[in-house]
Amino acid sequence: MNPIDHIPLPLILFGCILLQLIFIEAGFRYGRHSRGGGHKAQMAQVRAIMGASLGLLAFMLAFSFSIAQQHFEERSRAYMMEVSAIDSAFRGAYLLDESQQVLAQDLLKEFAGLRLETVKAVRASEPERVLALIRESERIHDLLWSIAESSMEHSAGAREAGIFAQSVLAMIAAHDARLQAAMFNRISPVIWMTLLLMAALAMVVMGYQAGLTGTRSGLATWTLAITFAAVMTLITDLDRPQMTLFQLNQQLMVELESRMGSEAFDPPDALRP
């Protein structure tokens, strides 16, 4: 996880607002100190630079928000893939021999529970527990694949065992996709540094322009600072795994775990191997 992942979201919001107000105030004081001496003739140029700076900052915010939203959508797709793969594997286990069927389905129930526990650990910002749960999930993957290999080698119905094996492979692929989307698909630190630098410079130029005129609006200053800080906070929340404002609904996994523990999945006796 990135260091920023451990910072509470309200602290990020207030920190961004405070920093922008500081830069606006610094620019205002420098502009007020520079009044006179022909600086009034440069007012049009300063306004043009301020407009360009704010426009570029808005573009960078939109660009960063688009990247964060894409990462959120990738996490959503990987989650849906995993739920579907677990469901398929549980159903495909009915095609195995009875002893292997029971073992495979017990492992799948345990795996679904682990995934829900992992989400809770991520939201609670417990990285060590998250890593331990991920390792346990991968261990269950290995056990399920061993069952699939054994079924294809010793079962007369190799085609039926192959269906279960394909589902296990789909589970592994979905697991890797979720790890990639949650842990590694993040906004680059270079983009973050560029965004913060552009925000600081834009606020300085805005304050400088107000200092040259000798007047400023407290309402406009606070509105601009809060608006940009709110957008940057939303980008931060979208991009990190333990989202606060944007959270993946885990109800599908909860319902799947519940159904796997009930008799709703039981097929007719005629369909059992």
Using a cut of 0.85, tell me whether the model's pTM lies above it.
no
- Domain extents for the chain? 8-263
- Name the band, by pLDDT with cuts 50, 70 and 90, for residue 218: confident
Which letter does DSSP use for residue 182 in this model? I
| pLDDT higher at 128 or 37 | 128
Express each pLDDT in 175-203 by its tens digit. 998 888 877 888 888 888 999 899 999 99
Of 20, 34, 14, 10, the C-alpha closest to 221 is: 20
Burial of 219 (0-12, 13-18, 19+ CB in 10 A): exposed
- Beta strands per DSSP E along 128-230: none
